[in-house]
Structure formats: structure tokens, C-alpha cells
Chains A and B, each alone.
Chain A
Amino acid sequence: GKNEYDLLVIGGGSGGLACAKEAAQFGRKVAVLDYVEPSPRGTTWGLGGTCVNVGCIPKKLMHQAALLGSALKDAQHYGWNISQPVHHTWSVMAQGVQNYVKSLNWGHRVQLQDKKVKYFNIKGSFSDPHTVRGLTKAGKETVVTADNIVIATGGRPKYPTHIAGALEYGITSDDLFWLKESPGKTLPSFSLYVSLECAGFLTGIGLDTTVMMRSIPLRGFDQAQMASLVTEHMESYGTKFLKRCFPTKVEKLKNNRLQVTWKNADLDREESDSFDTVMWAVGRAPDTKTLNLETIGVKTNSETGKIIVDASEATSVPHIYAVGDITEGRPELTPTAIAAGKLLAQRLFGHSSELMDYDNVPTTVFTPLEYGCVGLSEEAAVQRHGSDNIEIYHAYYKPLEFTVAERDSTQCYIKMVCLREREQRILGLHFIGPNAGEVIQGFALGIKCGATYPQMMKTVGIHPTCAEEVTKLHITKRSGLDATVTGC
């Protein structure tokens, strides 16, 4: 028979909602399924996906809370009289953040309603290539059929289940943002961006925080120096690091605190300490298990579990697509999911043929000193073109606002990776400093236009900003000269 819907989207997150709403613009009959399996701790949330509920949004807000803590310290240098001591209350912050997130959940529901997209709060699985079956929370079964189906179920944090006590006693980012009470003395493990960002803001609001690091920090990001500058700053900021340590077990103590034991690889011995909270950030796994993909023939990557798609987001089954964190080989970022979802809807229903461009996607790590980047890391550029064919311009700079505040700017650094020939096209730009995201965004546009080093130099700076330092880069790594910026 005829399918009930033109488009069914499984997963109401960044990618899913963007796709659904775009398709509805073309007058199509669209349905969205969204369901949040509670975390092992029991945490759950509303419509909107990871970004809105347990990702970008609460993360940036808590990061802002930490930045405001620094602002309070700076303010005194700028003449503001604030009585000491200054306290931070977790529950006030958490409530403010959680209320805002809930308003977004509500906003999404209203938007779907306005655009006449049908929303089901059910956990769906495929019973055949055009049919998805699911149970509501109350246990009622619902069947939805559609011509086209988009899988956008995202991912959930992994647990290092081989570590005794990890699952029983640890939490993840899924839980952190919804805690009603302060996490206290916390051990974020390991050192992916999620861990560092959380460790950063926890330190900023005054909590005793230790990051356990197995090997390198910020895997996947520029290792030539950006990653270590980020962690160096965090150390001077007050976050403790246990380097080259690997946890072996987590036990609960009588006073409800947690005892963590780990192996210190450098000293070759076991160590332990007690914490209030252990947070795992060991990566995220795609949420595909309960979808029943094997029975309908949607191929996944055997190692990662992610869905394999082609350049048009199509899976191995003709009318089934996938967008967002669940897709293999794509950046796990909200804006790419949104863009891919929208373009997909435009291709399916809007006679467009435009494919998503995943090149030169800018991103930012919101650690206490933020790190924004677009394009290739130094290592990737060297690997692709050879170190003789690339030129790296760099500079250590000092944000003006740090001067009066007497803040340390040792890790404020910019690096531009260019090709040596072909008019010195820019391959990558890396920026550590305040407001890194705001700085990098515009330059990402430039790189999309094929910006070259000379064009960058022709661009006049805005004074006084941090971003202008990008237009003034002139010391190369090759020269070995001191790259510290000295005054106007």
C-alpha cells in the first residue's frame, strides 16, 4: 500500500530536525521520531538531541560561567570593588542552564507543530525497509511507514566497561549537565575535547578537578603544538593532570565517595585517590543497536558501528539516508549535521543537486583558553604535501584585555599553514585565545574562497582585537625567529 509519510526522520537532534523542517517547507508530509534512552544513571531529556540537551548548549553556558569567574578576578584590576571571597553555587547555574535547555525543547516542539511535522516520542526500529515500529513510554505500539527515511540517531557516550566499577559508579556528559548538585572533586577521563572542556569549566567554577590522560590530549587535533598549548594553559589555570595514567578500578567508599586506582606508566606503579565524581569521556558510540539495521540491509562500519553513506548521504538501501554523528567519516558537529540535513531535504524534495561540502569545516574547543581551527593541522599538511612544500606562519600575542588584568598570555598563539607555491594558499588556520570561535568563523569563509597568504596580508586589521594578529602574521617557523608580537 501507499506509505503514510513522504519522509520519516528517526532522531530529533540537530541533523534530524533540520532535515524534517526543511522537507516540511516543500509541503511534504513529514514525521519525526525522538526518544532518549535514559543513561545508566537515569538521566533523560527532551526533544532536540545531543547539542541542545547534553552537548554544545549546556557546555558553552557552563564554560561561560567559568569565564565569568575569571571576569570577576579581572574586574578588580579594572577598578571594580568586589568583596572577597566570591562563591559559586552549582545549583543556581545548573538551574539557569537547565531552564534554558527546556525552553529550547519546547521551542522545537512548537516549531514542528507550526510546520505540521508529526512528532512521536517513541523508540523506533525497522521492521521492513519502509516501516518503523516503536513503543511509547507507556508501552503502546506505533507503526510508521514512509517513502524516504533518514536515520539521525546520533551517538551516546561510551563507558570503559573493562574497568571495574566504571559503569556502576561513573557518569558521563549525559549526566553532568543535569546534576542538581555540585559534582565536587571530579576526575574527567580521558583527554578528548569533551573531557578537557568539562574539566576546564569545572575548574573555573572552583571545583577540584583532575584529568586522567592516557597518552596524547585532543586526539584528532593539531598535535604539533596546539593540543599541548591548550593543556598547558589548563594546568596554569588550576586543572590537575595525571599524565600517562590508566585507571584500573573504581570502588565506592563508605562515605559514598569513589576510590579510583590507576596505573602510572611513567613511574610504573599503582596509585589511587578519592573523588566525589568520576566522569568518563572516552568517545561516543553511534546509537544503532536497537534500529535493526542488519535485517533491512543498511551497512555499517564493522569497527565503529557507524552507518556508511555516500556523498549524497545515501545508505546501502536506496531510499534510506543518514545524517549527523551517526555517519561514518563525517565530523561530529552540529552545524555539519544541520547543513547536511537541509541539503538532503532540498535534494529529495526541492529539485536541488547540491551536495554537502565537508571540507574546511571550522570548529572550536571551548577550553578555558579557547582553541579554534579550520583546515589542516600541521602534521596533516606535512603528510599531504611534504614539509618542504609548506610554510608555517606563527605568532605569540597578548590580548589587550589581559594587560590591565595581569593575566598570563603565554599560550595565546596563532598558526597559519600555507602552501609554499601556488600563491601560498592557506591550508589551515589555528588560533588559541579568547573568543576563538568568533575569530575563526570569518577566516573559515576566506579559506572557503581559496584565501592565500598575500590576501590575508592585504586585509587591514581591526584595532585593537585579537583577530587582527592573523592579518599580521609574518614570522615563519622555518626562520626560527622569535614569534612574539611586540606592540603596535
Chain B
Amino acid sequence: SVQAHKEEDNPPKTMEVNVLTPLPDSYDYDLIVIGGGSGGLAAAKEAAKYGKKVMVLDFVTPTPQGSSWGLGGTCVNVGCIPKKLMHQAALLGQALQDSRKFGWQFTEEVKHNWMTMTESVQNYIGSLNWGYRVALRDMKVTYENAYGEFVGPHTIKITNKKGIEKLYTAERFIIATGERPRYLGIPGDKEFCISSDDLFSLPYCPGKTLVVGASYVALECAGFLAGLGLDVTVMVRSILLRGFDQDMANRIGEYMKEHGVNFIRQFVPIKVEQTEEGTPGILKVTAKSTTGDQIIEGEYNTVLLAIGRDPCTRKIGLDKVGVNINEKTGKIPVSDEEQTNVPYIYAVGDILQDKLELTPVAIQAGRLLVRRLYAGTTTKCDYVNVPTTVFTPLEYGACGYSEETAVEKFGEENIEVYHSHFWPLEWTVPSRDNNKCYAKIICNIQDNERVIGFHVLGPNAGEVTQGFAAAIKCGLTKEQLDSTVGIHPVCAEV
């Protein structure tokens, strides 16, 4: 049996730990954070503020296509950030068209160059990766680009890209390993299909694309790809945006359909074959109906799978330390203080069971957790009324209950829904759709008509929704909403 080194400078190269080994009195670190994403980094930086000795482990297992990225996690590298930038590129395409009606003149033909956009986006992401490394260094947080797994109580083994292993111990751990896209489990999926992990750094234009899935990831990607001028089809097994207000989900789908995105409903792919190699090549997709025996085939340059994400919890040695996970989903159940069933092991972010998969939630949870651990506070993360926005071509911002959930919880007779279509002023002159933007609020009649749900479909939905979320946090009622004067002319005044 071997004891772990107290000095972090010269840890032994390979080690074994026998569970009977007595634990050292002092640990290598106060806190080891496994996962350098939104939640992990926020927690690590916060802990460093309180003078704690912190290590962050981050490692990206390359995708089947070989894509990988730097420090920062999903949001920065293959999530929110590149998504919003590409969404912006698509919006600018629309702006170009609008601008002609506002008097701007330029050549009729305007084309989009995928490589120019992707290079700019990747450069920006690179600057963020760099920024995080500098921030960790400045705050004296140790960062290791290595894969971490538990090997025994308070002990973790890390393996870097070269295969070199080290062992470290810590008083506490935070698991923040996040998730990765799910594959279909059909022939050809890993060989020929890409996921969001690959899309944002794709070194060639995806061309004619089939997006499989109806999640917000699927619709956002389909949306901006279409906005950039590509031929896009979305294959949906059943409903759109499961878990979101279905009325709003359908409006989003309708809008996308009217703006050139094809939808194949109630089909699932059963086979993907490559008929031509290339960047991109040509793929043949065979799909089966979910309601009968019908089989269809289609050819695409790219197949993008966006059918869900799975937590990275199966291969990090949780069984060695006894952390319970939901065997079916892989998610980790935690208390309302983000503590797992093992007292010194915590978890934040997308891997948590029954919590929202959002960057700001992970950051908030991570920070508050660390403050409770080291600064003596008692504030818990408030997971209620967390606002969110889906950045589809027509953006959708929401906070609180969907209409269905409100009816289910309070009863139809106890809720009042106020709604309105609106026509953004900026859409008038270029004659853009005049009955698509929509807003609705759901009020609880029995509680002073308190606003319990807010939904808006229109430009800048995120900017609009943020303030309303703050107001809902303050207990906004319909009366207060009515008595607040609008800013004119903006969409939010609706």
C-alpha cells in the first residue's frame, strides 16, 4: 500500500490505492472540481476567493468525428456561445434583406461563407478558453487537462492526454462533468453523423442537412442553418420541444416551416449509409414511420443528431466512492444543497437530476454552494422561476409555468391567460409577417392574479424576458403589470 504524497510538485507516476489504506490527515487540496465548465469553473473561482486550495480537472473526450476543444465546458465551446453567434449570423442574413426596404442598396446576390463565420467564432472561443486559463492561474487555482475518476475515499486518479496518471486527495469534491450528445444506436450513426459537438467547428459547409430531433438544440441549429441559406430538414419522432409550452412550441415550428425549414414528422432514422465520400459527402438516410410500416429514404450532405444529451457520470468511478446515480438516466440526485449521498461529494450543473440544464443555473448553484461551504452563508440556489430562451429564428423567451402545467397544477378555472399578437415596428416597413409574434401571461386568479407564467415569441426574446423574470421573482401581479407604463415603441411594451 502506498500513501499519497503531500507535496503536489512531485506526485508519483502510477499508483494503486487499497481501500484499507489509512487516509492522510491532510489532503492535497481543500476542493477538487471535476469538470471545467460553467458550474465547475464558477465553483472553483469562488472557492479560491476564500483562500482555499483548489484544483480543476477538465478533459474533453473527442467526438466520434474527432472534434475536441479547450477549457470552459459545453456553453463556451459547443453550446450557448457558438450557438448564439451563428444564430446572429442568420439574423444578419435576414437584416440584409430588410435593409433594402429601408433604403440600403447592394448587389442582388448575397452569399454566406461558412468558413469565414466558423473561423471567427472559433477564434472568439479560443480567446475565452485562454481567458479561463489565465483567470484560474491568477486566482491560483490548479488546472489539469486530465480525465478524473474516483479510485477510493477522498482520492482521485487523473490521466492526461499522454496517459500519465497521478493521484490526488481532497477534503471535498464537486462533480460538474456535464453531458454529451446522445447517439441513436443505429448503423452508421457514429461513423457518418455529427452532433452539436462537431457542428460549431465543422471545417466545411454542412450543405444539405438533416437534423434529427425536436429538442431546442435541434430547432436552434436547424433554424440558423436555414438562415444561412442551407437546405434543412428536421426529422421529428413525435412532438416539438418536449417540456416547453406546446402552444408556443407549435408556433415556433410553424414559423420555421413558413421560412423554409422542411419537417418530417413521426419518423425515426433506422440506418445511415455513405454513398459518397467528401467534405461534405453524401449520406443516405433510411427512416421508419412511428405510426405504421412506411419506410422513406433521403439523401443529405450532413446528418446532425440532436436527440438529447447524456450525463458523463458512468465512467468516473462513482461506484468506488458509493455515489448514487439514477441508473436509467445517469443523473445524480442531490439534496437542495447540491450534496450527493456521500457527504463530502457535491454536484452541480447539467448532471443533476430534476434540475434545469442551463449555464446560469449551474453558475449560480456552484457559487452559492461554495459560499455555503466556506463563507458560512445559508443561501440555497433558487430553482424556481428560472427564465430561459430558445434562440430559434423566431425567438422564444419563457419564465414560470407553461399553460398546460399551470392548468394541471391549479385547475383551468383558477388561471387566467392574457395574450396578444404583436407586429414589431421594425417588421412593418420590410413587410415581414404581421401576425406571428405573440405574448402571453398566465395568472393565478386565487393569488391576487399573480403572474405565474410569461411567454413571448418575437425578436430579442431573451432581452425582453430577463426583466420580466426579475419582476416575477418580486411577486408580480396582473394589476402591477397593467399599471406599469410601456416603453414605446418596443416589442416588450406588449
| A interface, CB within 8 angstroms of B | 51, 56-57, 60-61, 64-65, 68-69, 71-72, 74-75, 77-83, 86-94, 96-97, 100, 205, 333-336, 339, 357, 360-364, 372, 400-401, 403-404, 435, 437-446, 448-452, 455-456, 458-468, 470-471, 486-488
Most chain A CB inside 10 Å of its own CB: which residue of B84, B388, B429, B470: B470
Chain A min CB distance to B132 (Å)? 7
Extra 20 A-B pairs, beta carbons < 8 Å, given A446-B476, A470-B466: A68-B95, A79-B117, A79-B228, A80-B113, A81-B112, A94-B103, A100-B429, A335-B487, A401-B88, A403-B85, A404-B121, A438-B463, A438-B491, A443-B467, A446-B473, A459-B470, A460-B364, A460-B382, A464-B462, A467-B467
Query: A459 to B131, Cβ gap below 8 A?
Result: no
Residues of A within 8 Å of B493, CB to CB, are 335, 437, 441
From B75-83, B255-263, B318-326, give the one contacting chain A.
B75-83
Query: B116 to A442, Cβ gap below 8 A?
Result: no
Residues of A within 8 Å of B117, CB to CB, are 78-79, 404
Residues of A within 8 Å of B84, CB to CB, are 400-401, 464
Which of B120, B121, B463 is in CB contact (< 8 Å) with A435?
A: B463
Cα separation A346 to B489 with both chains bound (whole Å) = 24
B471 at the interface (CB under 8 A from A): yes
Which of B101, B103, B135, B426 is in CB contact (< 8 Å) with A205?
A: B103
Which of B92, B361, B389, B484 is in CB contact (< 8 Å) with A78?
A: B92
Chain A min CB distance to B42 (Å)? 8
Query: B462 to A467, Cβ gap below 8 A?
Result: yes
Query: B104 to A69, Cβ gap below 8 A?
Result: yes
Chain B min CB distance to A343 (Å)? 9
Chain A min CB distance to B115 (Å)? 8
Query: A449 to B485, Cβ gap below 8 A?
Result: no
Which of B131, B429, B475 is in CB contact (< 8 Å) with A449?
A: B475
Cα separation A97 to B489 with both chains bound (whole Å) = 14
Query: A400 to B81, Cβ gap below 8 A?
Result: yes
Which of A65, A362, A450, A467 is in CB contact (< 8 Å) with B466?
A: A467
Cα separation A89 to B105 with both chains bound (whole Å) = 7
Query: A88 to B103, Cβ gap below 8 A?
Result: yes
Residues of B within 8 Å of A449, CB to CB, are 471, 474-476, 480
Query: A92 to B428, Cβ gap below 8 A?
Result: no
Interface size class of B (residues with CB under 8 A): 35 or more
How does the 8 Å CB contact mask read for B442-468 relative to A, with 1 for contact and 0 for none?
000000000000000000101111111
**Given that A439-B463, A461-B466 are known contacts, is A79 also in contact with B89, CB under 8 Å in the complex?**
yes
Cα separation A334 to B426 with both chains bound (whole Å) = 18
Which of A56, A89, A445 is in CB contact (< 8 Å) with B468?
A: A445
B359 at the interface (CB under 8 A from A): yes
- CB nearest neighbor in B for A357: B483
B360 at the interface (CB under 8 A from A): yes
Interface pairs A-B: 5 shortest CB-CB = A442-B467, A93-B103, A79-B117, A467-B466, A441-B492
Residues of A within 8 Å of B101, CB to CB, are 92, 96
Cα separation A69 to B103 with both chains bound (whole Å) = 10
How does the 8 Å CB contact mask read for B96-111 relative to A, with 1 for contact and 0 for none?
1011011111110011
Query: B359 to A463, Cβ gap below 8 A?
Result: yes
Which of B75, B107, B426 is in CB contact (< 8 Å) with A82?
A: B107
Query: B389 to A465, Cβ gap below 8 A?
Result: yes
A-B contacts, 22 of them at CB < 8 A, read A72-B95, A72-B106, A79-B89, A79-B120, A80-B113, A89-B105, A96-B101, A96-B429, A336-B485, A437-B487, A444-B487, A445-B484, A446-B471, A449-B471, A451-B471, A455-B473, A459-B387, A459-B469, A465-B389, A465-B462, A486-B131, A487-B128
B38 at the interface (CB under 8 A from A): yes
Query: B463 to A467, Cβ gap below 8 A?
Result: yes
B17 at the interface (CB under 8 A from A): no
**Given that A78-B120, A81-B113, A488-B75 are known contacts, is A442 also in contact with B492, CB under 8 Å in the complex?**
yes
Residues of B within 8 Å of A451, CB to CB, are 470-471, 473-474
Cα separation A332 to B212 with both chains bound (whole Å) = 52
Interface SS of A by simple majority = helix
Query: B425 to A57, Cβ gap below 8 A?
Result: yes
Query: A96 to B102, Cβ gap below 8 A?
Result: yes
**Given that A460-B360, A467-B462 are known contacts, is A87 also in contact with B132, CB under 8 Å in the complex?**
no
**Given that A64-B102, A83-B107, A363-B487 are known contacts, is A435 also in contact with B460, CB under 8 Å in the complex?**
yes
Query: A460 to B131, Cβ gap below 8 A?
Result: no
Residues of B within 8 Å of A455, CB to CB, are 470, 473-474
Which of A61, A438, A445 is in CB contact (< 8 Å) with B476?
A: A445
- CB nearest neighbor in A for B86: A78
B124 at the interface (CB under 8 A from A): yes
Interface SS of B by simple majority = helix
Residues of B within 8 Å of A437, CB to CB, are 487, 490, 492-493
Residues of A within 8 Å of B483, CB to CB, are 357, 448
- CB nearest neighbor in A for B465: A462
B93 at the interface (CB under 8 A from A): yes
- CB nearest neighbor in B for A487: B131
Chain A min CB distance to B200 (Å)? 12
Query: B121 to A441, Cβ gap below 8 A?
Result: no
Query: B492 to A438, Cβ gap below 8 A?
Result: yes
Query: A88 to B105, Cβ gap below 8 A?
Result: yes
- CB nearest neighbor in A for B90: A78
Query: B95 to A361, Cβ gap below 8 A?
Result: no
Interface residues of B in 112-156 (CB under 8 A from A): 112-118, 120-121, 124, 128, 131-132, 135
Chain B min CB distance to A461 (Å)? 4
Query: B425 to A61, Cβ gap below 8 A?
Result: yes
**Given that A442-B469, A455-B474 are known contacts, is A460 also in contact with B85, CB under 8 Å in the complex?**
no
Query: A462 to B469, Cβ gap below 8 A?
Result: yes
B358 at the interface (CB under 8 A from A): yes
**Given that A75-B95, A458-B473 are known contacts, is A90 also in contact with B103, CB under 8 Å in the complex?**
yes
Query: B487 to A401, Cβ gap below 8 A?
Result: no
Residues of A within 8 Å of B430, CB to CB, are 96
Cα separation A445 to B466 with both chains bound (whole Å) = 11
Query: B490 to A444, Cβ gap below 8 A?
Result: no
Query: B121 to A468, Cβ gap below 8 A?
Result: no
Query: A442 to B471, Cβ gap below 8 A?
Result: yes
**Given that A68-B104, A438-B492 are known contacts, is A465 also in contact with B466, CB under 8 Å in the complex?**
yes
Which of B110, B465, B486, B488 is in CB contact (< 8 Å) with A81?
A: B110
Cα separation A360 to B265 with both chains bound (whole Å) = 48
- CB nearest neighbor in B for A74: B92
Residues of A within 8 Å of B476, CB to CB, are 445-446, 449
B268 at the interface (CB under 8 A from A): no
Query: A68 to B473, Cβ gap below 8 A?
Result: no
Cα separation A129 to B120 with both chains bound (whole Å) = 69
Query: B466 to A463, Cβ gap below 8 A?
Result: no
Query: B485 to A335, Cβ gap below 8 A?
Result: yes
B23 at the interface (CB under 8 A from A): no
Cα separation A107 to B470 with both chains bound (whole Å) = 36
**Given that A334-B488, A437-B492 are known contacts, is A463 also in contact with B358, CB under 8 Å in the complex?**
yes
Cα separation A292 to B59 with both chains bound (whole Å) = 80
Residues of B within 8 Å of A444, CB to CB, are 467, 484-485, 487
Cα separation A459 to B490 with both chains bound (whole Å) = 23
- CB nearest neighbor in A for B102: A65
Most chain A CB inside 10 Å of its own CB: which residue of B121, B358, B493: B493
Chain B min CB distance to A402 (Å)? 10
Cα separation A336 to B487 with both chains bound (whole Å) = 9
**Given that A87-B105, A462-B387 are known contacts, is A80 also in contact with B489, CB under 8 Å in the complex?**
no
Residues of B within 8 Å of A65, CB to CB, are 99, 102-104
Cα separation A462 to B359 with both chains bound (whole Å) = 9
Most chain A CB inside 10 Å of its own CB: which residue of B81, B88, B115, B118: B88
**Given that A93-B103, A460-B364, A464-B80 are known contacts, is A79 also in contact with B487, CB under 8 Å in the complex?**
no
- CB nearest neighbor in B for A93: B103
B397 at the interface (CB under 8 A from A): yes
Which of A57, A100, A339, A441 is in CB contact (< 8 Å) with B464?
A: A441
B32 at the interface (CB under 8 A from A): no
**Given that A81-B113, A82-B107, A449-B476 are known contacts, is A56 also in contact with B488, CB under 8 Å in the complex?**
yes
Residues of B within 8 Å of A459, CB to CB, are 385, 387, 466, 469-470, 473
